[in-house]
Amino acid sequence: MTRHPRTEVLVVGAVAVLAPLAFSRALIGGVTAAKWPIVMAGAVALLALWAHGTIKDRSVRPPTNLAVWLGVAAALGIALGVLANGVGWAGWWGEEARANGALLYLGAAAALLAIVAGAPVQEVRALRTALVAVGGVVALHGLLQYAGADPLDMPSAFGPVVATMGNPNFASAILGIAVPLVASLALERRQLQWRSTVGALALGLLVVASLSGSVQGPIVGVVGLGVLLVAWLLEHGGRVQRIGLAAAAGGGAVGLTLGLTGLGGVGPLSGLSNLAAVGPRLLYWETAWAMFRAEPLTGVGVGRFSAHYREFRPPEGATEYESTLIADSAHSVPLDIAAQAGLLGLVPYVAFVVGVGVALVVGLRRTQGPQRLLLGGVGGAWAAYQVQSLVSIDVPALAVWHWVLAGMVLALSGTVRTREFGSSEGGGRPRRRQRSRPREVITVAVTAAIVLVGAWAATVPLRAERAAAEGVARIQTGDLDRGGERLEHAEQLIGSSGRYQQERADALATVGELDAALDAHSDALDADPRRFPSLVGSARIADELGEHELADEMWRRIMEIERAQPDLVGEAVEHWLDRGDDERANALLDRSARLGVLTPELEALRP
């Protein structure tokens, strides 16, 4: 938002490239935890550049486009949801394995502002090329993984292709989003060899996305190509344009209808309803909607989906799928925001998406030639993100790509204007005479302060994760004191959330230090009374150690949160039977019967 946007766009490009590729084995959450600091470091760099330019030039040039500020309002709305619910660090970081809290959205909003505030077409084109390169790297890595020759030896428990995204759905999504970007690059030149080579890359991305076993990449890739096709048809007038646009609209309507009916188990695509991921998602969506209905204004708290999941999950969800099934996300970005941040976050977010969509349509009608095709590719990638976001999660790489693509669409559409406030040319005198040493000192001091403080803050989770990983490793090798110190340090770095105390408890339990593990679980519950793994861990250890009163309390609290999961209800019933409390055991079984989740195994426990 200064007179020198090139550096700002360069920072955004670095974040968009590095976020999907970063990983570390030295962290507890090695994939996600390594990506979040990159987004934060980029936001800090942008703040420093804005502060430096504003003080130096005594002017600022913010964009005036409504969609841009709706995006900023969405990020601020999510942040307000954190403050309104008082959830602390969990809200700023997000769910532990996702890092999708308020700070991620604030960082993404900074990237959006940097792009729209004066980025020329050639810089947007360079950003497109950078994202294409990321798609190529992810595809090559995924192909090597599929062939069993992963040079990084990334863990791939969820599927054969995860690249550095940690999950086949995320890897597939990145590849699908990149497809229209690659295709638009192919259309930039008319040479057959160029189009064949770059077109083969687009096809390769679709193939690797399919090899991941996740359907969302290929589906959204086709959606993105559809937007690019519209841009290409708009370049051809007359009959070709009319027939092509009609065919594209008809094909899109048919595809949408078949897809929706297929999810419902009807029609030629009815097999979609049998996909392993569909059933649980329907459960997650129903749960998220229940959370939103319970707390429509502020949601249940950003980063607290998993903490409230059992409370709002339909009882039948405990028996239709794995009894241990738990979710830390709605697996739908809009529903996630609705459930966790309520209307404070949802309304501006939806308005932001609609605003960018309107700008895309306006831009496709206004622009011509190479810029229209570039907008078609970028808009196709943006649309691909929107489709996958309906069934996926905003982890750092995907969230950043969304907001960067939104900024690229707005910059190319011709709908963004900037307005300069202040001036460095006062009184018609040359800028050189307006400079003063005190102002230069202030400029350097403020910029340095932002960089130093921001760098320290952005790396706090990284340092906490590293300390926690070291602590767990030391405990597992018998160094209990030093391991406990490192985990305590990790907990102190991020504030008292209970996460690393739980990690400490689990590590101590694996080496047989049950008394110490029980104390660590107690510390975790002091920090977060709804930390369910620590409730269950405390109950089981207390039973084993004969701490009957503590076990009674833990099982009571567990059954207040979890009403239907058969294996846990069974454990609680056995506990009360061992304690000679047949009345309480029968009450739990009767409740399971009322909820319709009384299994034969549970009935067999009835005294």
Nearest to 406 by CA among 460, 450, 462, 349: 349
Count of other CB atoms within 10 angstroms of residue 544? 12
* Predicted local distance difference test score (pLDDT) of residue 262: 60
Question: What does the block give as tokens for 170?
Answer: 């995320």
Residue 606 has, within 13 A of its CA and on its CB side, a CA count of: 14
Which segments of the chain have a pLDDT < 50?
424-434
| Tokens, residue 289 | 């909607």
Buried b (16+ CB within 10 A) or exposed e, 328-360: bbbbbbbbbbbbbbbbbbbbbbebbbebbbebb
Rounded to whole angstroms, how far apart are CA atoms 38 and 44?
A: 10
* Alpha-carbon gap, residue 63 to 52, rounded angstroms: 18
> Rounded CA gap, 508 and 235, in Å?
66
Say if CB 153 and CB 107 are below 8 A apart. no
pLDDT computed for residue 411 by the predictor: 92
* Residue 239: exposure state from Cβ atoms within 10 A (0-12, 13-18, ≥19): exposed
Tokens in use for 53? 């330019």
Give exposure, 188-218, as e/b (b: 16+ Cβ within 10 Å): eeeeeeebeebeebbebbbebbbbbbbbbbb
Asked if 124 and 416 count as a contact pair (C-beta separation under 8 A), the reply is no
- β-bridge mates for residue 59, sequence order: 422
> What per-residue string of b and e applies to 304-326 under the rule 16 or more CB within 10 Å gives b?
bbbbbbbbbbebebbbeeebeee
Q: Which residue has the tokens 């977010």?
A: 349
Q: Which residues contact 130 (CB under 8 A, 6 or more apart)?
A: 13, 16, 17
- Per-residue burial over 402-437, b if 16 or more Cβ lie within 10 Å, else e, is bbbbbbbbbbbbebbeeeeeeeeeeeeeeeeeeeee
Q: Rounded to whole angstroms, how far apart are CA atoms 408 and 411? A: 5
Rounded distance, CA 568 to CA 485, Å? 32
Cα–Cα distance measured from residue 105 to residue 71, given in angstroms and rounded to the nearest whole number: 9
Residue 63, strand partner residues:
418
Topology classification of domain 461-562: 1.25.40
Per-residue tokens: 382 = 């943006």
Report the 3 state secondary structure along 353-412.
HHHHHHHHHHHHHHCCHHHHHHHHHHHHHHHHHHHHHCCCCCCHHHHHHHHHHHHHHHHH
Instruction: Identify residue 337 by its one-letter amino acid code.
Output: I
Q: Where are the domains of the chain?
A: 7-413, 461-562
Q: What is the pLDDT of residue 272?
A: 57
Q: What is the pLDDT of residue 430?
A: 45
Q: Note the helical H segments in 414-527.
A: 431-434, 437-458, 460-476, 480-494, 499-510, 514-527
pLDDT of residue 270: 54
Joined together, the tokens standing for residue 138 give 């992810």
Give the Cα separation of 410 and 352 in Å (integer).
11
Return the pLDDT at 43. 93
Report the C-alpha gap between 121 and 375 in whole angstroms: 10
CB 389 within 8 Å of CB 108: no
Are the C-beta atoms of 484 and 93 separated by less than 8 Å? no
Q: Give the model's pLDDT for residue 286.
A: 93
Q: In angstroms, rounded to a whole number, what is the distance separating the alpha carbons of residues 194 and 199?
A: 8
User: Against a cut of 0.85, is the pTM above it?
Assistant: yes
- Within its chain, how far is the Cα of 215 from the centroid? 19
Closest CA to 530 of 329, 336, 305: 305
Measured between alpha carbons, how far is 572 from 602 in angstroms, rounded to an integer? 11
Grouping H, G, I as helix, E, B as strand and the rest as coil, residue 149 is coil
Angle at 227 between CA 226 and CA 229, to 5 degrees: 65
CB-count exposure of residue 518 (10 Å: 0-12, 13-18, 19+): buried
